[in-house]
Amino acid sequence: SSRTSNFSKADKLLAEQWSTPEKQWTKAEVAIWRTKNKYTWHELNDGKTIQLVPSSVNSKFGHLGGVSEVK
Enumerate residues 6+ apart whose C-beta is below 8 A from 7: 31, 41, 50
The residue ranges of the chain whose pLDDT is under 70 are 1, 62-71
Nearest in space to 49 (alpha carbons), one of 58, 37, 41: 41
Sign of CA dihedral 55, 4, 45, 41: positive
Query: What local confidence, expressed as pLDDT, does residue 47 receive?
Result: 83
| Domain limits, the chain | 3-70
pLDDT at res. 8: 96
Q: What is the pLDDT of residue 70?
A: 47
Non-local (6+) Cβ contacts of 30 within 8 A are 11, 12, 14, 15, 18
pLDDT score for 1: 56
pLDDT of residue 31: 98
